[in-house]
Chain A
Amino acid sequence: MAPHLHTSDFKNPVVRWIDERLGVFTMLKKEYGIFPMPKNANYLWSFGGIALTMLMIMIVTGIVLAMSYNPHVDGAFNSVERIARDVNYGWLLRYVHMNGASFFFIAVYIHICRGMFFGSYHRPRELLWIVGVMIFLLMMATAFMGYSLPWSQMSGWGVTVITSLFSAFPLIGDGLVTWLWGGFSVDNPTLNRFFALHFLMPFVILGVVFIHVWALHLTGSNNPTGIEPKTEKDTLPFHPYFTSKDSLALVVFMTLFMAVVFFAPLALTHADHFKPFDALVTPSHIVPEWYFLPFYAILRAFTVDIAIPFTGIVLLPAKLQGVLAMFGAIILWLFLPWLDGSKVKSALYRPLHRLCLIGLLISFIALGYAGAKPAEGLPVVIGQIATFYYFLHFLVLLPVLSRRETPKALPESISAAVAKKA
């Protein structure tokens, strides 16, 4: 054999010829064939792969939609309607892309909850987690810009409200908003740049997902017990055990997704998303897409300026508080590996912590409810209480409890835990 070729185990001469020169088949076999998975990983571990599938679906449908889309304020709305009515299979492509964003977020929210519950952010997976949070932020930006493209009432006013958030920053705020808009109102320059960025960002996400998976394959997957595999008995090869398990999960998820696409494609959207944008009339009730609602509720939870008493000097206006809290709510996730000081990862062995986490989930759902309602009366109060608990959890309960609570006894190993259950 030629001295510089890497040695390949593959027998098939064509595969072997390529593998000796590129190493891809050896790599694939190592990372997706024999890659050792904790054998107790449950179906919650399937959602990373599902999220990746959704990303691919979004990229593929997005590119073909772009072939018929017209990124100009005069034509955008009509071009999207034309896709849905006249372009061959355009209705399918549009509804898959539109609902695909929702299902992408469903998958990623479950994926994140899994990580929080089983402590997947702990050493040695801190960077894996942080890269994951970055993916989430990029996804939010991408979905937000994508929603502007049909140039409907919801598109235009959603863009107006969210970009205006930046005007809360003192001194630079107004200039920043003008810069984002490329003018003095949300108009054609805004739409053009959002289209360019919406096209680009999924590929950036793809790159960051690559880093995410790279890190995963260095540290290996976490599992429900949160204890690391010790011997070969604790793991199973990825193929065929988890390729088959993940395939089943994927098929079920896709069935639900397609059921919505075919039978209720508009269930998750709003009537005002089907009226062309009118810069002079704001719809009476604008709400973001469901996956942004909890953060939108945090934004609106702050209603009182912080001022020096009796002087009227405002230190922190309500608007700025809301904006900082909204961004802070996600930025906090980046610090989770350090906010949580417990030696034990999984909430299964930390009863009080588990209770607090359930509280967090409830407060997040309550925030989603509050965000969907007009900002008056009871929903405002619910939003404020839930916002309070959300920050209490990350800034007080978690840091204190994780350092005080005595965890339950951990099983000796993953296989011991599995044997006990069986």
Chain B
Amino acid sequence: MDSSHSPSHPPYDREKSRRDFLVLTAAAMGAVAAGSAVWPLVDQMNPAADTLALATTEVDVGTLQDGQTLTAIWRGKPVFIHRRSPADLAAIRGEEWQSLRDPQSDEARVQKGHDAFLVLIGVCTHLGCIPMGSKVGQPKGDYNGFFCPCHGSHYDASGRIRKGPAPKNMDVPPYSFLSETLIRIG
């Protein structure tokens, strides 16, 4: 104890700045250590490798008639594949889209050459319910598309939000046509 106050001890101020440096470095190292110890605890809650691996689904749309909708499952979520009749397609393409809540043209939401097929993640962008309109007899909402009963969001036949609390159009998943009738989602 006493030796620390011996005359050979460095001047107080120099000692202090050196101490400050040591304390700060130690604290910084401690923060890094704590952070790296906590991160695994936080990140384990993110999707695991096997969950991520369930990433693609193939769907045959050969039997789908005009006006029908087929529901596939991709990553645990429903994907609506809706085949629009030429009349419906013409109607939706004729509408002005620049002033919509989430402005997007129908062309930008489908793949060129397969314009009749609308592929959508069938999840309401409000709070995640499954909108109705994909099955015969279900309400299609005020815009001849989909209607989410949870809090009343109306989507059009392009899956774009038209009315109600949802902020965005229904998402289009990544997909490609493997042939004229086979779609791979993901």
Select one of B45, B75, B99, B148 contacting A185, CB under 8 A.
Answer: B75
Residues of B within 8 A of A374 (CB): 149, 152
The answer, yes or no, to whether A165 is at the interface (CB within 8 Å) is yes
Determine if A160 and B152 form an interchain contact, defined as CB atoms under 8 angstroms apart. Answer: no
Chain A hits for B31, CB < 8 A: none
Tell me the bound Cα distance from A162 to B126 in angstroms.
11
Across the interface, do A165 and B127 meet the contact criterion of CB distance under 8 Å? yes
- Which of B48, B51, B73, B129 makes the CB contact (< 8 A) with A161? B129
CB distance from B170 to the nearest CB of A (A): 14
The contact size tier of chain B is: 20 to 34
Instruction: Report the bound CA distance from A182 to B75 in whole Å.
Output: 12
Instruction: Please tell me which one of the listed residues A164, A182, A184 contacts residue B127 in the complex, with CB atoms under 8 A apart.
Output: A164
Sample 25 A-B pairs with CB under 8 A, ordered by A number. Answer: A160-B128, A161-B150, A164-B127, A164-B128, A178-B47, A179-B45, A179-B46, A182-B51, A184-B47, A184-B51, A184-B76, A184-B77, A185-B75, A185-B77, A189-B47, A279-B77, A279-B78, A280-B73, A281-B130, A282-B129, A282-B149, A286-B150, A300-B151, A305-B167, A318-B165
| Chain A residue nearest in CB terms to B101 | A305
In A305-333, the 8 Å CB interface with B consists of 305, 312, 317-319, 322
A231 within 8 A of B: no
Residues on A with C-beta less than 8 A from B144 are: none
Q: Using an 8 Å CB-CB cutoff, how does the interface string of A176-204 with B read, 1 for contact, 0 for none?
A: 00111111111101000100000000000
The size class of the interface chain A forms with chain B is: 35 or more
Q: Which residues of A contact B45 (CB under 8 A)?
A: 179-180, 182, 193
Name the distance in Å between B145's Cβ and chain A's nearest Cβ. 16
> Quick one: which of B113-169 are within 8 Å of A by CB?
126-130, 148-152, 165-167
Q: Give the chain B neighbours of A300 by CB distance below 8 A.
A: 151, 165
Q: 18 other contacts beyond A280-B71, A300-B165, A375-B151, with CB at 8 A cut-off?
A: A160-B129, A163-B128, A180-B45, A182-B45, A182-B51, A183-B75, A184-B76, A280-B78, A280-B130, A281-B130, A282-B130, A286-B150, A318-B165, A319-B126, A319-B127, A319-B165, A319-B167, A375-B152
Q: Assess the A317–B47 pair: CB atoms within 8 A.
A: no
Residues of B within 8 A of A322 (CB): 165
Report Cα–Cα, A17/B182, bound state, in Å. 82
Determine the residue in chain B with the shortest Cβ distance to A286.
Answer: B150
Is A182 within 8 A of B77, CB to CB? Answer: no
- For chain B, what secondary structure do more than half of its interface residues adopt (helix, strand, loop), or is it mixed? loop
**Given A160-B128, A178-B46, A182-B46; A282-B76 close (CB under 8 Å):** no
Q: Does A412 contact B (CB under 8 A)?
A: no
Residues of B within 8 A of A184 (CB): 47, 51, 75-77
Q: Which A142-190 residues sit within 8 Å CB-CB of chain B?
A: 157, 160-165, 167, 178-187, 189
Beyond A160-B129, A375-B152, whether A317 also contacts B78 by CB under 8 A is no
Chain A proximity of B41: nearest CB distance (Å): 12
User: Chain B residues near A165 (CB, 8 Å)?
Assistant: 127
Smallest CB separation, A280 vs chain B (Å) = 5
> Which residues of B have CB within 8 Å of A280?
71, 73, 78, 130
| Chain B nearest CB, measured from A168 CB (Å) | 8
Write out, one digit per residue, whether chain B residues 32-51 have a CB within 8 A of any chain A CB (1) or not (0). Answer: 00000000000001111001
Write the chain A residue with the least CB distance to B151: A375
Q: A281 to nearest B CB, angstroms?
A: 6
**Complex Cα–Cα for A189 and B75 (A):** 13
The interface centre, meaning the residue of B77, B126, B128 with most chain A CB atoms within 10 A of its CB, is B128
CB distance from A295 to the nearest CB of B (A): 14
Query: Bound complex: CA of A193 vs CA of B51, how far in Å?
Result: 15
Q: Decide yes or no whether A420 CB sits under 8 A from chain B.
A: no
Q: Which residues of A contact B78 (CB under 8 A)?
A: 279-280
* Chain A residue contacts of B130, Cβ below 8 A: 280-282
Chain A: minimal CB distance from B104 (Å):
13
Query: Which residues does chain A contribute within 8 Å of B152, judged by CB atoms?
Result: 374-376
Is A7 in contact with chain B by the CB < 8 A criterion?
A: no
Tell me which residues across on chain B come within 8 A of A375, comparing CB atoms: 150-152
Residues of B within 8 A of A167 (CB): 128
CB distance from A212 to the nearest CB of B (A): 28
Least Cβ–Cβ distance between A184 and chain B, in angstroms: 4
What separation, in Å, do the CA atoms of A189 and B71 have in the docked complex? 24
A180 to B44, CA, bound (A): 11
Residue of chain A at shortest CB distance from B131 = A282
Please give me the residue from chain A that is nearest to B98 by CB atom. Answer: A312
- Contact between B71 and A183, CB atoms less than 8 A apart: no
From B51, B73, B99, give the contact of A183 (CB < 8 A): B51
Contact between B71 and A161 (Cβ–Cβ < 8 Å)?
A: no
Q: Are A282 and B150 in contact (CB under 8 A)?
A: yes
Of all chain B residues, which has the CB nearest A320? B167
Chain B residue numbers with a CB within 8 Å of A303 are 165
A376, B151: Cα distance in complex, Å: 8
Q: For residue A161, which residue of chain B has the nearest CB?
A: B127
Q: Is the CB of B151 within 8 A of A183?
A: no
A187 vs B48: C-alpha distance when bound (angstroms): 12
Q: Which residues of A contact B48 (CB under 8 A)?
A: 182, 189
In the A-B complex, the 5 residue pairs with the closest CB atoms: A185-B76, A184-B75, A164-B128, A164-B127, A282-B129
